[in-house]
Amino acid sequence: MEVTNVMEFEKIAKDKLPKMVYDYFASGAEDEWTLKENTNAFSRILFRPRILVDVSKIEMATVVLGFKISMPIMVAPAAFQRLAHPDGELATARAASAAGTIMTLSSWATASVEEVASTGPGIRFCQLYIMKDRNVVAQLVRRAEGAGFKAFTVTVDTPRFGRREADIKNRLTLPSHLTLKNFEGLDLGRIEKAHGSGVAAYAAAQVDQTLSWKDIKWLQTITKLPIIVKGVLTAEDAKLAVEAGVSGILVSNHGARQLDYVPATIVALEEVVKAVDGKVPVFLDGGIRRGTDVFKALALGASGVFVGRPTVFSLAAGGETGVRKMLKMLRDEFELSMALSGCRSLKEITRDRVVADWDRHHPTRVSPRM
């Protein structure tokens, strides 16, 4: 099958992967309304292209937390990537590096921070869950720093695991040959079988339900690296994040895997951007499947986007080559979207370049510059 767009990687992955594995990567929480809405909401945003602009040269490079990357498209954290392909996170790391962009490694990876670092140079962030045992978190922070990781992305929307019914039915667990490599030496590397989802049971046992803003402050005492808070959907929490001194905010609903019937991230984005008022960069994940989606996110105020499911599905479909192809597809589509909209650089992707269906209810949001 010749792949011509990112969505087609999922079709290949579904054919190749065991049902339990495909369902884990593909499914969302409960009714999966937000899962569908994450992608559907992009279709309610239309372009306002400008014409007769010289777009023979398009500049897509950007700077994220001081690091120059080739495009505002980065790799989101995704756990258990060796379920998708034997090379797992190592293949993803090499592909992201080749694309000149950032990879975020899940703390629940099936390759350790040291193994990922050994794949060669690259800009890498480390995602963290705040575990009940803070020593486990502190140890991983030190190891990630030692392995050359450049920032930490703290997932804050998971005090409890969302109800993912596909995982419950499949009794999701990791096969015996796979472990959570970052915790292997701490007797926390294995996920045991459970009556329902083994992963949910592991999370309930290990992730701290008392997580609060004080833990962000605690993390700042044990690392000088930038901290991005992942899981913000409201202006109120965005303001608290800024007050807490974070370096960035990631508008995320955990790929619609936590609380169902929360807004699509692209719908929540502007509220967060307005609350932050330029004090820190705001990023977005969830529902990115086209270069046009990237353009729309930037027009609504995002400094960049992270892609999750496209990464694991392209990894399943073709290993490192698949992930490279996926990133190139999104890059090429994004460049074309810029050219056909009359934007030669990222700074020209402004709010007046798009119109959303919700603008009818908030007419002051769009002020076209003629």
What pLDDT, in 10s, does the model give residues 117-135?
Answer: 999 999 999 999 998 889 9
pLDDT-above-70 percentage for the chain: 94
Average pLDDT over all residues of the chain = 93
What is d(CA 159, CA 204) in angstroms, rounded to the nearest whole number? 9
For the domain bounded by 7-356, which CATH number is listed?
3.20.20.70
- Predicted confidence at residue 187, as pLDDT, reads 62
Lowest mean pLDDT among 169-183, 207-221, 300-314: 169-183
Task: Report the catalytic residues.
Answer: 254
Helix (H, G, I), strand (E, B) or coil at 178: coil
Least Cα distance to 37 among 299, 254, 231, 286 occurs for 286
Tell me the domain boundaries of the chain. 7-356
For residue 46, the cross-strand partners are 355
- Predicted confidence at residue 365, as pLDDT, reads 46
Report which of residues 252 and 179 the model is more confident about.
Answer: 252
- Predicted confidence at residue 172, as pLDDT, reads 84
**Model confidence over 61-99: pLDDT tens digits?**
999 999 999 999 999 999 999 999 999 999 999 999 999
In this prediction, residues 314-331 reach a mean pLDDT of: 98
Least Cα distance to 9 among 308, 319, 314 occurs for 314
